Amino acid sequence: MEKIRLSKLMSQRGLCSRREADDYIERGWVFVDGERVAELGVRILPTQRIELGEYARTRQQDRVTILLNKPVGYVSGQPEPGYLPAVGLIHRESYSPVETAARPFSPAHLKELAPAGRLDIDSSGLLVFTQDGRIARRLIGADSGMDKEYLVRVQGRLSPQGLDLLNHGLNLDGRPLKRAEVAWQNRDQLRFILREGRKRQIRRMCELVGLKVIGLKRVRIGRVRLGSLPTGRWRYLGKDEVF
């Protein structure tokens, strides 16, 4: 049986991100089969037991995940010329606490805060920022198949065959898309549920069947919904909320 780098195995098991794993190992906060490991690059067998020490577990508990209702006109990641990054909307004055996820705001919660997924500049809705590598991997890791739900306002005429193609049968960039769930929400709005995230996927899918997207809003990721969070406001992920 081939040995695997400890930090990689920790990430695969969902204990933390690889970057966090290296930090925890270097600090002596990781135990393999009950023995402390404090050397980077160590390789172990996949069958060996890995445990995080108390300090590592406490640090993970202190990490926050934030839900933002992103308006149109903001970019999800790095700023682009003429546009502001959505993370700039996260501050004390825009905090919108709810009873199930209320906690005191701290400037420390803005450090190492990274988007776990993207929304196009001309799209709105649920955008997740997190300090927790476990959540980031769950949402955007290579093996993530998490549902993401969107309400999409369209113009144009869609045939029954076109609706079937939106659900399954389209290709983008020479590769077939995974099966989606697409249905009419009302006369000019479709509801999309996707399990992948190609670049501008919904807009390009609609173009292929003769539709033009005039509004796109993400309303759910996994089991977490945008709900009544106002546009441009944010809240913490509750302790009982799980994606």
Structure tokens at 135: 């959540």
From 67, 101, 61, select the one nearest 221 (Cα to Cα): 67
Structure tokens at 30: 């990781």
Q: How far apart are CA 98 and CA 114, in angstroms?
A: 22
Pairing relationship of beta strands 224-225 and 171-172 according to DSSP bridges: unpaired
Q: How far apart are CA 17 and CA 130, in angstroms?
A: 12
Catalytic residue among 120, 164, 173, 188: 120
Is 120 a known active-site residue?
yes
Contacts of 105 (CB under 8 A, 6+ apart): 92, 95
Pairing relationship of beta strands 148-155 and 74-75 according to DSSP bridges: unpaired
Q: How far apart are CA 79 and CA 77, in angstroms?
A: 6
- Collapsing DSSP states into helix, strand and coil, what is residue 222? coil
Inter-residue contact 47 to 38 (CB < 8 Å): no
> Annotated catalytic sites, by residue?
120
